[in-house]
Amino acid sequence: MKKFINDPADVVAQALRGLAAAHPELRVDTEEQYIVRADAPRAGKVGLVLSLIRISDGGFVGPGMLDAACPGEVFTSPVPDQILAATKAVDGGAGVVHIVKNYTGDVMNFQLAAELAADEGISVETVLVDDDVAVEDSTWTAGRRGTGATLLVEKITGARAEEGGKLGEIAALGREVNAASGSFAYALTAGTTPAAGRPGFDLPADEIEAGVGIHGEPGRRREKLRPAKDLVHSALDAILDAKSFTGPVIVLVNGLGGTPLIELYLIYGEVAAYLGERGVSIARQLVGNYVTSLDMAGMSLTLCQATDEMIRLWDAPVRTPGLRWGA
Amino acid sequence: MKKFINDPADVVAQALRGLAAAHPELRVDTEEQYIVRADAPRAGKVGLVLSLIRISDGGFVGPGMLDAACPGEVFTSPVPDQILAATKAVDGGAGVVHIVKNYTGDVMNFQLAAELAADEGISVETVLVDDDVAVEDSTWTAGRRGTGATLLVEKITGARAEEGGKLGEIAALGREVNAASGSFAYALTAGTTPAAGRPGFDLPADEIEAGVGIHGEPGRRREKLRPAKDLVHSALDAILDAKSFTGPVIVLVNGLGGTPLIELYLIYGEVAAYLGERGVSIARQLVGNYVTSLDMAGMSLTLCQATDEMIRLWDAPVRTPGLRWGA
Amino acid sequence: MDATLARDWMRAAATAIAADTDRLTRLDAAIGDGDHGVNLHRGFTAVVAALEKSPPETVSEVLVKAGTTLISRVGGASGPLYGSALRAAGKALPATAEVQPSDLVAALHAGLEAVRRLGGAAPGDKTLIDAYGPALDAFEKAVAGGAGLAEAAGAAASAAEAGAEATVPLQARKGRASYLGKRSIGHQDPGAASTSLIFQALAEVA
Amino acid sequence: MDATLARDWMRAAATAIAADTDRLTRLDAAIGDGDHGVNLHRGFTAVVAALEKSPPETVSEVLVKAGTTLISRVGGASGPLYGSALRAAGKALPATAEVQPSDLVAALHAGLEAVRRLGGAAPGDKTLIDAYGPALDAFEKAVAGGAGLAEAAGAAASAAEAGAEATVPLQARKGRASYLGKRSIGHQDPGAASTSLIFQALAEVA
Ligand SMILES: Nc1ncnc2c1ncn2[C@@H]1O[C@H](COP(=O)(O)OP(=O)(O)O)[C@@H](O)[C@H]1O
Ligand SMILES: Nc1ncnc2c1ncn2[C@@H]1O[C@H](COP(=O)(O)OP(=O)(O)O)[C@@H](O)[C@H]1O
Ligand SMILES: [Mg+2]
Ligand SMILES: [Mg+2]
Ligand SMILES: [Mg+2]
Ligand SMILES: [Mg+2]
């Protein structure tokens, strides 16, 4: 394993220290391991807390988006203590929304934290994100995973919370965005966690994993590498089969951490062309490495069938390390 | 080689099409292969054109930064025709500054383009960027390479051009920023160009390249992998030996394309700590994959000994796909 | 069982997990995200430290403290599951210095119940339940037949190991491995493997 | 040499470069950025297409058109260098249908001069000059000794190849390879290798 780290056991803590140094507009509690806006808690504002297992998501804390995020160990959900501490740090009396990606660990740890918060008199609403159409949503699985749509839920609910939206409304909006979103991902290579020290899986030189999540796990199936255009068509077909979108959609072309922008833009070109063919109009688009899986070379496509209100909130100012416009 | 592409011969053109689709606020000439701000040329505004050999740099075209960029084939400088076309597209009568990274090919192609532009009555000033202290600046080399400082030159001169700075002043400012900057880079892995189809060099599992540039070339020397802290100290020592900065500095911790943010933040933590030890104060910092080398896992550190004016211009609004704040 | 033996159990579990961290992580890499060994190693190291810092006086307190520590240090799926199991088991025990095998039967039932409530998994879903369930059955049967702790624990350990091995041909229906669909078949469930280690640790010290 | 032969030369050069694209790219990957073969292949393919589209009538025009095409299609260091060399050589020739070996000597001198002016490299800097220079010397000497085009081109080709091989032990002082310092020693310069291919192409068709 080759990484720019000091000690595999201490990567998250040290990265958090760097994040704190690089972003004085955030407050990082390196003891309890959470990140909050420096101005938190704001009286009367609904707080948004993300279950986060990648430092890059810490990049989405700030005005117009998240109030806090709490990274667990790499690919491990945070613990209830941490989540509780972050929840308390952002509660301004108007309640707190937990944005939880649908993974067994995240769900359970947040559930425990929500119970602890309720004991302390904090109203918590949970928005479960489960947009990954690669997983069948059935009793045969733990349900669809939360992937790229998390960013959309964060951005859109974050903008509404900034405007003064109430707890129930924000939670409902988050669930609406999630229900209106679908994602599908491909991996060209496995990522390597610092603790494991070797790639999560081996992949022959001409094969890829289809239907991967964002924790380095293998996908639904292994396939031969195909041209980007084919992969884009298959991914969009999977999303459009699962969710019958007609547009306008917000499109996220997302790299999983090790994919250069030149490839992501090439992919976006194919996405735009194919959605045109299928008669799905595009309202907004975002291209980059946002919802990542360490150094995995891979990409995910997310579509969100957006209402006018969602588009308005998408366009609203946001000022975070990872996403910034209008501010 | 596993990449999200269709045809290795057509990657740049197809990525440009995607960039155009994703960013309607830019105008992409896919025929001549250049990217300009949609509002170019602006009468009376000095135009800034970048020699660019990576699509991600196209991310820095927009208000407050570049007026145009022209990507060559992957790792190949653009051709004079392209540069001339971009130069004409952004000339609003106040002249054009060419920001050229110091590589033989870039220098020669821009020189030919500048001669052609002069023939057409356009005043061109050239700012040569050569910040990479890994290369000895002597008659034994083609001179120091242009790397991370390019982003600083683009941002700072771009802000001044937006304010109405004159041609000679912008060029002088660009040269001042370049002279005040130093960079050093490490690679953990080689990148793979689509055309070559295999990594540029082989690197054993425990070795890294020290002193690499941003075109996939091997570095000055091969070293054993060391903890991030050690690498940061060596890189900063190299920069501070070559340029005697005392601060305030603008710091860029830059990933070469395949380096996850968690590592870049960890690195920034070490940078901040070590600059503190060496008594160099930090005015501003930027952490991310900005000046990249395809999918190379690597990082570069850039320091710029900044004047108050440079810091003011650094803070000025910028609105490009790759860098955006205050707008 | 007294508090000392309960602490020895936790220590033995920590040692076994430390030795098998890599194996557990590999099992998890095959059908999950490759952190199970590291997660439990971090957790049980913290458990041992917590128990050493202020040694509880009763078995009940040992297990509650161990569970609480796992919940607040592990994260992931295994933290809440193992943590809640140990907490529930501890809370089900009498607050006496010594507890009987029959008390432990009830406690282990409470633990399993907590796992099922929290995770919603059924037997055969390819989770730690598939080692825990058979182990508890064997323990209960042995105690009902008059066996002492050592003998009952031995029976539980064997059953847990067999249960873990029996997860290999199953298709996962819960947890991260369920995303793989049929591809989860042919691999042992990492949680079942670690459950087997924990029952083996009990058999060792009992 | 007439325009037809000049076009044949460019076509033969394109064929040789196409066949050796991979070798040139590998040489460039070792001490540069691994694009030299691809660069020249793209360029000479365009040259052949341009010459076929509207075949020039004179050798001078063939070389100027080839050079212009390389400049506007290749990029990198090799585009301006080879392009300027061919343009300068073409411009140095008389605008006659047929040119003599002695005209070509003068033209090749002009081409080398253009490369040196643009790139600033001296002999021994481990660049294409280290193949071009010896080739030109040999060509000139042969012509001075009364040799015809075929014989002179053959001598140039051998000298170019020897020159290219002689770059192996050199340390690069110009171009991308110079960044490597001493590590550039032990590898053949890709530009010298492609120059040798171009002189070989002349010897083939002459
Ligand atoms: N719903 C569930 N019920 C019971 N056990 C579960 C459930 N989900 C997962 N597990 C167990 O947890 C183990 C994985 O633990 P771990 O790798 O530490 O967590 P994560 O999956 O969050 O990375 C699985 O092997 C399985 O035995
Ligand atoms: N200053 C120079 N003078 C002469 N030839 C040079 C010079 N710099 C580079 N070259 C030649 O160019 C070759 C590299 O060409 P190429 O790989 O196409 O361009 P780039 O270096 O821009 O990638 C080198 O092998 C060398 O022969
Ligand atoms: Mg995990
Ligand atoms: Mg090149
Ligand atoms: Mg796991
Ligand atoms: Mg090259």
Calpha distance A308→A44 (Å, rounded): 26
For B149-176, the pLDDT digits (tens) are 999 999 999 999 999 999 999 999 999 9
Considering CB atoms only, which of D38, D80, D179 is closest to B213? Answer: D179
Model confidence at A136, pLDDT cuts 50, 70, 90, reads: confident
Give the pair of three-digit tokens for residue A50. Answer: 């993300």
For A289-325, the pLDDT digits (tens) are 999 998 899 999 999 999 999 999 999 999 999 999 9
Q: Give me the count of residues in chain C.
A: 206
Query: Looking at chain B, which residue has its C-alpha nearest residue A258?
Result: B258
Catalytic (active-site) positions of B: 215
Task: Name the closest-CA residue to atom 5, ligand 1.
Answer: C127
Q: Please check the confidence at residue D164 and state whether its pLDDT lies above 80.
A: yes
For D59-93, the pLDDT digits (tens) are 999 999 999 999 999 999 999 999 999 999 999 99
Residue A233 bears catalytic tag: no
Give the pair of three-digit tokens for residue A78. Answer: 């945070």
Q: Please check the confidence at residue D101 and state whether its pLDDT lies above 80.
A: yes
pLDDT at res. B217 = 83
Q: How many CA atoms lie within 13 A of C91 on its CB side?
A: 13
Q: Which of D26, D39, D81, D180 to mutate to test the pocket of ligand 2 (most atoms within 8 A of CB)?
A: D81
How many structural domains is chain D composed of? Answer: 1
Angstrom distances, CA of residue B316 to CA of A133, B64, B67, B155, B303: 42, 7, 16, 9, 19
pLDDT at res. A200 = 85
**Residue B94 contacts by C-beta under 8 Å, 6 or more apart in sequence?**
B44, B45, B46, B47, B166, B167
Phi, psi at B53, each rounded to 5°: -130, 25
Q: Indicate the SS3 state at residue B174.
A: helix
Please return the burial class of A207, using the count of CB atoms within 10 Å of its CB with bins 0-12, 13-18 and 19+: middle
Q: Answer yes or no: is the C-beta of C27 below 6 A from any ligand 1 atom.
A: no
Domain that holds residue C15: 3-205
Q: Please give all residues whose beta carbon lies within 6 A of any atom in ligand 2, as ranges.
A: B 76, 104-105; D 28, 32-33, 35-36, 39, 76-78, 81, 115, 119-121, 127-129, 174-176, 189-192
Query: Looking at chain B, which residue has its C-alpha nearest residue A298?
Result: B4
Quick one: how far is CA B74 from the chain centroid? Answer: 15
* Cα distance between the two ends of chain B: 39
Phi, psi at C87, each rounded to 5°: -65, -45
A-chain residues near B326 (CB < 8 A): 327
Interface residue A194 vs chain C (CB under 8 A): no
Give the pair of three-digit tokens for residue B13. Answer: 């053109």
- Contact: B2, A206; criterion CB under 8 Å: yes
Looking only at the bridges linking them, the beta strands covering A124-129 and A207-210 are unpaired
Question: What average pLDDT is seen over chain A?
Answer: 94
For B180-231, the pLDDT digits (tens) are 999 999 999 998 988 888 888 889 999 999 999 988 888 889 999 999 999 9
Closest to A97 measured CA to CA, from A181, A211, A175, A3:
A175
Calpha distance B147→B302 (Å, rounded): 9
pTM of the model: 0.93
For C42-101, the pLDDT digits (tens) are 999 999 999 999 999 999 999 999 999 999 999 999 999 999 999 999 999 999 999 999
**Residue D117 contacts by C-beta under 8 Å, 6 or more apart in sequence?**
none
Interface residue A54 vs chain B (CB under 8 A): yes
Give the pair of three-digit tokens for residue A71. Answer: 């990274």
For A195-205, the pLDDT digits (tens) are 888 888 889 99
pLDDT at res. A56 = 66
**Residue A50 contacts by C-beta under 8 Å, 6 or more apart in sequence?**
A57, A60, A66, A68, A69, A70, A98, A99, A150, A154
Distance to chain B for D89, nearest Cα, Å? 17
Calpha distance B235→B183 (Å, rounded): 8
**Beta-bridge mates of residue C165:** none
pLDDT at res. C58 = 98
pLDDT at res. A140 = 77
C-alpha B10 to ligand 6 mean position (Å):
18
Question: What average pLDDT is seen over chain D?
Answer: 97
Calpha distance B266→A15 (Å, rounded): 4
Model confidence at B50, pLDDT cuts 50, 70, 90, reads: confident
The dihedral over CA atoms of A311, A315, A316, A321, expressed in degrees to the nearest 10, equals 130
Considering CB atoms only, which of D31, D33, D71 is closest to B75? Answer: D33
pLDDT at res. C118 = 94
**For range A66-78, the mean pLDDT:** 90
Q: Answer yes or no: is the C-beta of C148 below 6 A from any ligand 1 atom.
A: no
- Contact: A196, C71; criterion CB under 8 Å: no
Q: Are C139 and C155 in contact (CB under 8 A)?
A: yes
C-alpha B32 to ligand 2 mean position (Å):
24
**Beta-bridge mates of residue B253:** B287, B301
- Contact: A105, C79; criterion CB under 8 Å: yes
Per-residue confidence of chain C (206 residues) as pLDDT tens digits? 999 999 999 999 999 999 999 999 999 999 999 999 999 999 999 999 999 999 999 999 999 999 999 999 999 999 999 999 999 999 999 999 999 999 999 999 999 999 999 999 999 999 999 999 999 999 999 999 999 999 999 999 999 999 999 999 999 999 999 999 899 999 999 999 999 999 999 999 99
Model confidence at B59, pLDDT cuts 50, 70, 90, reads: confident
C-alpha A290 to ligand 2 mean position (Å):
38
B-chain residues near D79 (CB < 8 A): 79, 105, 109
Interface residue B140 vs chain A (CB under 8 A): no
Instruction: Give me the DSSP letters along A193-246.
Output: -TTT-SBSS---TTEEEES--SSS---SEEEE---HHHHHHHHHHHHHHHS---
Residue burial B145-155, b: 16+ Cβ < 10 Å; e: rest: bbbbbbbbbbb
**What's the Rg (C-alpha) of chain C?**
16
Residue with tokens 């994100």: A129
- Contact: B80, D80; criterion CB under 8 Å: yes
**Residue B3 contacts by C-beta under 8 Å, 6 or more apart in sequence?**
A188, A228, A263, B192, B194, B295
Angstrom distances, CA of residue B294 to CA of B191, B192, B206: 6, 7, 22
10 Å Cβ neighbour count for D46? 17
Give the pair of three-digit tokens for residue D188. Answer: 């053949």
pLDDT at res. B252 = 98
Residue with tokens 């025990």: C93
pLDDT at res. A38 = 92
Please return the burial class of B138, using the count of CB atoms within 10 Å of its CB with bins 0-12, 13-18 and 19+: exposed
Q: Give me the count of residues in chain A.
A: 327
Calpha distance A121→A127 (Å, rounded): 19
Helix, strand and coil in chain A, % to nearest 5: 35, 25, 40
Q: What is the largest CA-CA distance in chain D?
A: 48
Looking at all shown ligands, the one closest to residue D130's CA atom is 2
**For range A7-13, the mean pLDDT:** 92
Phi, psi at B46, each rounded to 5°: -65, 130
Task: Assign domain A181-318+321-325 to its CATH architecture.
Answer: 2-Layer Sandwich (3.30)
- Any alpha helices (H) in chain B, and if so which ranges? 11-22, 80-90, 104-119, 149-162, 167-179, 228-242, 261-277, 308-315
Instruction: Give me the DSSP letters along D75-126.
Output: -TTHHHHHHHHHHHHHHHS-SSSB--HHHHHHHHHHHHHHHHHHH---TTSS
10 Å Cβ neighbour count for B137? 14
Q: Are A40 and A89 in contact (CB under 8 A)?
A: yes
For D105-133, the pLDDT digits (tens) are 999 999 999 999 999 999 999 999 999 99
Chain B touches chain D, with at least 3 Cβ pairs below 8 Å, answer: yes
Strands across the sheet containing B26-29:
B26-29, B34-37, B68-71, B47-52, B96-101, B124-129
Report the complex ipTM.
0.91
10 Å Cβ neighbour count for B169? 15
For A180-200, the pLDDT digits (tens) are 999 999 999 998 988 888 888
For D35-48, the pLDDT digits (tens) are 999 999 999 999 99
Percent of chain A with pLDDT over 90: 81
Residue with tokens 């600083």: B152
Task: Name the closest-CA residue to atom 8, ligand 1.
Answer: C175
For A232-281, the pLDDT digits (tens) are 999 999 999 999 999 999 999 999 998 999 999 999 999 999 999 999 99
Q: What is the largest CA-CA distance in chain C?
A: 48
B-chain residues near D82 (CB < 8 A): none
Closest to D29 measured CA to CA, from D195, D164, D193, D173:
D193
- Contact: A265, B74; criterion CB under 8 Å: no
Calpha distance D135→D155 (Å, rounded): 7
Give the pair of three-digit tokens for residue A5. Answer: 């780290």
Model confidence at A87, pLDDT cuts 50, 70, 90, reads: very high
Q: Give me the count of residues in chain B.
A: 327
C-alpha C36 to ligand 1 mean position (Å):
8
| CATH 2.60.40.1730 for domain A8-180 | no
pLDDT at res. B76 = 87
Give the pair of three-digit tokens for residue A275. Answer: 């959605």
pLDDT at res. A57 = 65
Closest to D141 measured CA to CA, from D151, D131, D129, D132:
D151
Angstrom distances, CA of residue C74 to CA of B14, B261, C46, C67: 46, 23, 9, 10
- Any alpha helices (H) in chain A, and if so which ranges? 11-22, 80-90, 104-119, 149-163, 167-179, 228-242, 261-277, 308-315
pLDDT at res. B55 = 75
Q: Please check the confidence at residue B53 and state whether its pLDDT lies above 70.
A: no
Model confidence at A138, pLDDT cuts 50, 70, 90, reads: confident
- The CATH number linked to C107 is 1.25.40.340
Calpha distance C178→D27 (Å, rounded): 49
10 Å Cβ neighbour count for D1? 22
Q: Are B194 and B74 in contact (CB under 8 A)?
A: yes
Quick one: how far is CA A150 from the chain centroid? Answer: 4
Residue with tokens 């793989």: C180
Atom of ligand 1 nearest to the CA of A106: 22
**For range B8-28, the mean pLDDT:** 94
Looking only at the bridges linking them, the beta strands covering B47-52 and B34-37 are unpaired
Interface residue B261 vs chain A (CB under 8 A): yes
Model confidence at D159, pLDDT cuts 50, 70, 90, reads: very high
Which H, E and C letters describe B254-275, residue by residue?
EECECCCHHHHHHHHHHHHHHH
pLDDT at res. B73 = 85
Interface residue B75 vs chain D (CB under 8 A): yes
Closest to C195 measured CA to CA, from C78, C59, C34:
C78
Calpha distance B232→B185 (Å, rounded): 10
The one-letter amino acid at D4: T
10 Å Cβ neighbour count for A327? 15
Q: Answer yes or no: is the C-beta of C76 below 6 A from any ligand 1 atom.
A: yes
For B294-307, the pLDDT digits (tens) are 889 999 999 999 99
pLDDT at res. A53 = 63
Q: Please check the confidence at residue A206 and state whether its pLDDT lies above 80.
A: yes
